[in-house]
Amino acid sequence: MYVIVTGASKGIGKAIALRFAEAGHHLVICSRDKEKLEASALEIKNLNPSVEVHTMAVDLSLQTGAEAFAAFCLEKGAVDILVNNAGIYLPGTCISEPDGILESMMNANLYSAYHLTRKLVPGMIKNKQGHIFNICSTASLRAYEGGGGYSISKFALHGFTINLRHELKPHGIKVTAVLPGAVMTDSWGDFDNSQGRIMEASDIAEMVFAASLLSPQAVVDQIVFTPQLGEL
């Protein structure tokens, strides 16, 4: 059995991959940046040399890329857990952001998960087990300044997650929407988080891992995270 994590070269995806590796799970991970992906894989192997880590540098915003990665995953064996984390954030407003921004984020934030999941779900249905985590955002729930197309794409990903949960219930497959607020990732640039104002990627990873441990008859439909002092 394998845990698949997309966008695993940094941030939340990398933290999730590390947490599952720590528990002894084999991994298949991807990212667009081959160099960072290989560095992430090395860090995982150093953490737990007993786990297998398979990597593929690929652009999941392209349907061909998502389908190629799905084929790569299926070559390795049965899929236990799928974490759809790949995505991009481009700030803007609905009325003034440049043409093409929304399309770019829909491709990266929604269609990457949509096309990959559709290729991997049949195997989960056949095995009557599996857990899909879609990394959404609090931007999937409410508007905020500078959200624009990003928020639209994350609303769409959340909608996909809700429908997927409904469709896969009879097959014994769990689906969880993960909705973090501000997390210390590359999107925050050189933000000084020495005072712990916003969350760490490891916080998200720990809760995703915990949700994966529940009995077959229990599922966490969604997990909402916000910084203790509230959003910025």
Catalytic (active-site) positions:
150
State the CATH architecture for 2-188+195-225: 3-Layer(aba) Sandwich (3.40)
State pLDDT tens for residues 49-81. 999 999 999 999 999 999 999 999 999 999 999
- Domain boundaries of the chain, sorted by first residue: 2-188+195-225
What DSSP letter does each residue of the chain carry, written as one string?
Answer: -EEEEESTTSHHHHHHHHHHHHTT-EEEEEES-HHHHHHHHHHHHHH-TTS-EEEEE--TTSHHHHHHHHHHHHHH--EEEEEE---------TTTSPTTHHHHHHIIIIIHHHHHHHHHHHHHHHHT--EEEEE--GGGTS--TT-HHHHHHHHHHHHHHHHHHHHHGGGT-EEEEEEE-SB-SGGGTT---TT--SB-HHHHHHHHHHHTTS-TT----EEEE--TT---
Taking residues 104-125, report their average pLDDT.
Answer: 98
pLDDT at 91: 93
pLDDT at 61: 98
State pLDDT tens for residues 166-190. 999 999 999 999 999 999 887 777 8
Taking residues 193-219, report their average pLDDT.
Answer: 95
